[in-house]
Homo-oligomer: A and B are copies of this chain.
Amino acid sequence: MKKKADTVVYLYHNITFMETSEHDKRKCPSHLSTSECTKQLLPVKDALDILSGKWKLQIILSLTFGKKRFKQIQREIPGLTPKMLSKELKELEVNELASRHVYDTSPVTVEYELTSYGKTLRPLIGELHKWGSKHRKRIIAKSGR
């Protein structure tokens, strides 16, 4: 968890802050002012970071169907290794999209669950789905298959 690296600070949430003093035009499209950049571009990237990647979406989708245990999720998503699952779940937790509950059984039971905040992603995913469907149809039509 780095603290500072040049003019940009990365937090563990994957959120990029601009150091107001000196970032200027260097990390930002030059047709935007500094504040415009922060306002326009970064939030979109934040949202994208949450959803993109090879597994995130599938994990989120899996959790929308209810509480799941670690192994359960892994079984549902072919090819997903424990290392990756662990990493992704941590990110979801840090961003408060999923919650982790440990039950003191033996061996341990851990359940993951989408938080109510996590469920606010629904409409966004809906929009992605809407546009994606149209796009898919359009492209398939073109390539004539």
Contacts and interface: CB of A to CB of B under 8 A. Distances in A.
* Copies, count: 2
A145 B29 CA distance: 25
A31 B65 contact: yes
B139 A29 contact: no
B44 A132 contact: yes
A78 B25 CA distance: 8
Nearest to A72: B31
Interface residues of A, number: 57
Interface of A: 11, 13, 15, 17, 25-32, 40-48, 50-52, 57-58, 61-62, 65, 75-79, 95-96, 117, 120-121, 123-125, 127-129, 131-136, 138-140, 142-143, 145
